[in-house]
Structure 1
Amino acid sequence: MIGVAVVGYGYWGPNLVRNFSEAAGAELLAVCDVNKDRLAAVQGRYPGVSITDDYESILRDPRINAVAIATPVTTHFRLAMSALMAGKHVFVEKPIAASSEEAQKMVDEAARRRLVLAVDHTFVHTGAVRKMRELVDGGLGEIYYYDSVRVNLGLFQHDVSVVWDLAVHDLSIMDYVLPSRPVAVSATGMSHIAGEPENIAYLNLLFDSNLIAHVHVNWLAPVKVRRTLIGGSRKMIVYDDLEPSEKIKIYDKGITLNGGSQANGEAVRQALVGYRSGDMWAPHLDMSEALGTELKEFIRCVEHAETPLADGHAGLRVVRILEAATLSLAQRGRVVELEPVRRVA
């Protein structure tokens, strides 16, 4: 049985507490928060769980094997590193850290101590995103583009931009689904409230191949949209996370390139474009709660020394893109090269 403590009982913490309290193989021992009212709410709903505002007591408790951190991103590094140095496995809310330097140190520390470090990239544990990965691996052909839109009216954040708040979801999905990693990013965006971070942004991600990715995030849209398109040489995917049942639709549509011609006595190849339009179908998906699936995987990884789907390296790759996008935003869309993620043996 893996003893677990949840640190932070604000927006996401209650979901972690609920799922850990129900997960086989886990025993929720403690919840830590600096807010007394939140702790009182925990005590009222989970009377058998210890509550504390002293994080050090969590680290000292030998019964606690793993710590789940759901606090503001600026605190992730300090809390996670303390837990790792105390010999605890760590599950941390996205993004994994406020900088790639911090994330790299967390990854290195976990590797040195042979501890599990997982980041809460919840969407990669959904049936829809896993199905997309399966299709990309074997059914779409050569991948041409990845295009996502994640917009709504609010919720405005004052400490991070819309890129760090919303685009992190799409970047984590992209990191899991696509067969290659981006090598550069260009981003443009704007803040419409003086002194506040950007509330609308457009990210373009470049690859070594002809693949291109685009992410649009926006806190000022009149409607909520959560849609991703993936185009391949054989088939195309539309993923709509707001659809209650048919979240994934696969289109047997595309183009065919044929032929050549002679022009002015010189051999000039001209692509003659033909259009192919076949069937559309919606595959059956696993509709299990993604967070529950994710936390069960985390417990299993702790028990058997396995690597989680969204490990520290995945978190680091996403933060490096977020950092590069932030730099590009400040420089009006300049292309920023991405540094490859190194691994510690």
Structure 2
Amino acid sequence: MNRGHIKMRAIRIIGRSIRDAFKSVFRNFSLSMASISSITITLLVVSVSMVLSANVNNFAVLVKKDVTIVAFIDNTATDEDILELEQKINKLENVESYEFQSKEDITKEMMETSDVFENIMNKWTLEENPIQHTFLIKVSNIEEIGKTAEEIKNMDYVVVVKYGEGMVEQLVKVFEVVEKISYITVISLILVTAFLISNTIKITIFSRKTEIGIMRLVGATNITIKIPFIIEGLILGLLGSIVPVAITTYGYLELFKHFNGQLFSPFIRLINPTPFVYYISGVLILIGVLVGMFGSWRAVKKHLKI
């Protein structure tokens, strides 16, 4: 048997399997709809979990980026002292970036924001001004922020160090717990989807035992019997993912538009819909198709013993 003949035979088998799979979906319409409905409902829950998980993780990243160590410098420090302090801060391993703000710049900014501040500041000379020079420091690893803050605090001419101590550590712990819960939820739902599809396909297979027996009698190979069921699972998974994809895409776009990209406050920013909704849609379709194929394959392999 030459390669060309083998190739044509494989194409015929696949073509026939696709045709049989489509026929099976419509012939067993009630069972197919039950399977599609199960996939749709489950993928909707998966979609909501993924959207929430992604936005919580995004919020966590933004919070980590926004957390700043503020180091207040003694007013007796000279320019040389401040330069030396800056060099020490720059050498710290966990420091990602820093910005120096002089008392003059801070005073000017405060005076521009309020007439009350301006009146108060005008009563003081530069030497009398109680405002201190500050360093605003961003860290690479927020989990090490306490250690970094302590290192800065122990440096010469650093009077006070603030970074929201206590609250930051609690936020990090909360984010870690929420992230783990969201991952577990998504994985659990995918497994439930696989189980539901497997059971649905198992019922379909049971109702078609006579048909499969005839296929065996006429010499159909195991692969010839298996392929239509696997393709049927693919079709069911694909059809079951259409509604979740549509609802996710439209729903998230409307949510983003309604809240203007912010949830409850400007501090909680939603992920930009593009390309986020396309990633989510792709994942939902992939889950539906792969789980549909896997569920069908598992049901055929386990329950028909072929």
TM-score for the superposition, normalised by structure 1: 0.20
Q: Compare the two structures and name the one with the higher strand fraction.
A: 1
Q: Over alpha carbons, which structure has the higher Rg?
A: 2
Q: Compare the two structures and name the one with the higher helix fraction.
A: 2
TM-score for the superposition, normalised by structure 2: 0.22
